Chain A
């Protein structure tokens, strides 16, 4: 069982739709992350929030819009996605961003398919 909960588990959407992915953790972690993982590839970092402020944006297209409404919640708003955006989207959290000896805890992801 994972302590990072992602919803929905699966999402199918058209290129003109707007949808949101949700991530929740109740471990008191102050750093939260979004990763994208294509089939048979390693996860790639998209965004990092530290203390509810956007700390890292890995040059992600603006059709992906992250939001951190509070320290337990992380959203990823999706709009006008392309078929190549179909992937597994993973959320993770850690106690703090800057401490290298702290592990990240991952959710099981949302599998997104763009029609």
Chain B
């Protein structure tokens, strides 16, 4: 399985944009890039995913490098509620039973200061 590398922790100020990086240099051409986050005392929550093009939804934006070896999750205006562990995960587009699973790395713990 292709691996991802994320910083252990990041800090942000409330109402400022946050850019969370993820390196995935061994990504294959058919791997989707998924982002999940886990707030304290809750299960992981799907945030966004993409393949090649940048993606936007109501929660965040995903910027994917042209060579696809890295990506950045962008929270446009951080709130205190965005303090969580953010996970960047690769998933094959068409997976066999053994590769259709999510493999969580250590993720990035985001602290948001008021």
- Where the two chains meet, the residues of A that have a C-beta atom closer than 8 Å to any C-beta of B are 2, 4, 31, 33, 42-45, 48, 50, 55-56, 90, 92, 97-101, 103-109
Q: A90-B44, A107-B43 are in contact. Are A43 and B104 (CB under 8 A)?
A: yes
**Shortest Cβ gap from B44 to chain A (Å):** 5
Interface flags, B70-91, vs A, CB<8A=1, else 0:
0000000000000001010001
Do the beta carbons of A42 and B106 come within 8 Å of each other? yes
Q: What are 11 A-to-B residue pairs whose CB atoms are below 8 Å?
A: A2-B42, A4-B43, A42-B105, A56-B97, A56-B98, A98-B94, A100-B30, A100-B92, A101-B32, A104-B102, A107-B43
Do the beta carbons of A103 and B44 come within 8 Å of each other? no
Chain B contact residues: helix, strand, loop or mixed: loop
A103 to B35 Cα, complex, angstroms: 9
Of A33, A42, A55, A105, the most chain B CB neighbours within 10 A belong to: A42
Do the beta carbons of A100 and B91 come within 8 Å of each other? yes
- Category for how many chain B residues contact A: 20 to 34
A81 to B104 Cα, complex, angstroms: 25
Task: Name which residue of chain A comes closest to B105, CB basis.
Answer: A42
Further contacts, 19 of them, CB under 8 A, given A100-B30, A100-B93: A2-B42, A2-B43, A42-B85, A42-B87, A42-B105, A43-B104, A56-B97, A98-B94, A98-B95, A98-B100, A100-B91, A101-B32, A101-B91, A101-B93, A104-B44, A106-B43, A106-B44, A107-B43, A108-B41
